Structure 1
Amino acid sequence: MKRITLLTLLLISYFTAAAQDQPNLTVGAKAGINLYSISSDALVEDDDVGLSYEFGIYGRIGDRLFVQPELHFVSHKTHLITLTQPTPGERDAITVRYLRLPVLLGYRTDYDGRLASRVRFMAGPSISYAVSVADNNLNIQRNDIHNAQFALNGGVGFELWILHLDLMYNHYLTSFFNDGRSEGKGRAFSITAGLGF
């Protein structure tokens, strides 16, 4: 966790310094919640959507058209019954924590409404690396899942002065479990609020 905090502080310092030299660079931080589930999988008997959290930093380069690299710490949770667990039929929460690196390409409108302005549309790829798996009764550990998971991300954002609100969908392309029989992939909706300068 200390390494994550240090990396986050270094990136904030870098983006802040760059913003002073580059007027079209916005830096910010955001936090929010996500809903996560796994698509149909031969190893999963049943699963429910789980609610968890995420937070991170970003740098937005450009004005109307922009590139937005980000760094997130993400927790994804789902409630599963698997075919390989020690106690058949027992449901438990699986929480996996990731470092996620998305790079989004976007378009920002010049819309200026009463509640929100500068609507943003964005999409792009990301890679997530599993940092840890919380203890669970299903005997799922970190080596049971793919450490690196690729995804496509898309969404819309709204701006109100320095407050930014983003609604995003993450469609994972890598199967959750690293068992060769597994085909289930993660799906997540998130809503985050943040500040940009």
Structure 2
Amino acid sequence: MKKLIILTVALFASGVMFGQFHIGPQIGFTSSKLTTNQNDIKTSFKSNFVFGAFARIGEKLYVQPEINWLTQGGIWKDKVTNEEVEMTYKTIQIPVSVGYKLIDMKVVNVRVFGGVAANIATDKKMKINDITQPLKDADWSNMVWQYQVGAGVDVLMFALDVKYMGGLNNLYKGDVQYDGKTLSTKSNLFMVTLGWKIF
């Protein structure tokens, strides 16, 4: 995590020095799901908003660090008992991606990108039968690691990005078992953001 922050600061500094630098706020929408390794648990998406800021360093080939505030999670439903559990992870997300402009014009450009994202949990909870309770740190990870792939379009000062983020680490650290298998879960999400390049 410290290395990711140091790298992000270094990229900001190099972008300012060489003049190939854009920065701005962004808002958007997410649809997330906590997938599991259990056949008896049906998982579904949970929708939320995201807001944050981004920087872009480089021209045709670029690096884009971001900082976002968002809620991840999902809804689990036991196929046998029909009991429903709503999981919520509020996180500060720090993605870093490398992108390439397939079409690079003065007014419009089209981009593809990929990278990694570190998510720091600020609040974790579950809701069962309208009763909300916190998730224990001993059982649930405070870090969510994800890879990301996506595409974007820039029109003048606006940047529209669509990305998929797939979970890399198992969030559950406990020993609950279903059918002889220890529960494992990862956070995956789709994200659409609209950014405004201030300069």
Instruction: Place the TM-score, normalised by the shorter chain, in its bin.
Output: 0.7 to 0.9
What residue in structure 2 maps to residue 71 of structure 1?
Answer: 67
What residue in structure 2 maps to residue 101 of structure 1?
Answer: 94
Contact kept in structure 2, 1:66 and 1:107, CA below 8 Å: yes
Specify which of 79, 91, 102 is matched with residue 84 of structure 2.
Answer: 91
What residue in structure 2 maps to residue 29 of structure 1?
Answer: 25
Contact kept in structure 2, 1:43 and 1:82, CA below 8 Å: no
Deviation of 1:154 after TM superposition, in Å, equals 0.8
Deviation of 1:179 after TM superposition, in Å, equals 2.0
Contact kept in structure 1, 2:85 and 2:126, CA below 8 Å: no
What are structure 1's unaligned runs of at least 5 residues? 1-10
Contact kept in structure 1, 2:27 and 2:194, CA below 8 Å: yes
What residue in structure 2 maps to residue 8 of structure 1?
Answer: none
Aligned residues: 177
What residue in structure 1 maps to residue 135 of structure 2?
Answer: 141
Query: Relative to structure 1, is the Cα distance of residues 53 and 89 closer, same or farther in structure 2, using a 3 angstrom cutoff?
Result: same
Bigger strand share: 2
Matches within 5 A, 1:34-183: 34-42=30-38, 45-81=41-77, 89-112=82-105, 117-134=108-125, 136-137=127-128, 139=133, 141-143=135-137, 144-180=139-175, 181-183=182-184
TM-score normalised over the length of structure 2 = 0.77
| Residue type of the alignment partner of 2:184 | E
Partner Cα distance (2:172, 2:134) in 1? 9
Percent identity at matched positions?
21
Q: Once the two structures are superposed, what CA deviation does each residue of 1:121-157 show, in whole Å capped at 9, x if it has no partner? A: 1101111111102462275515232111211101001
CA RMSD of aligned residues (A): 2.8
Query: Relative to structure 1, is the Cα distance of residues 59 and 111 closer, same or farther in structure 2, using a 3 angstrom cutoff?
Result: closer
Contact kept in structure 1, 2:66 and 2:95, CA below 8 Å: yes
Contact kept in structure 2, 1:53 and 1:76, CA below 8 Å: no
Deviation of 1:111 after TM superposition, in Å, equals 4.4
| Residue type of the alignment partner of 1:101 | I
TM-score normalised over the length of structure 1 = 0.78
Partner Cα distance (2:21, 2:71) in 1? 28
What are structure 2's unaligned runs of at least 5 residues? 1-7, 176-181
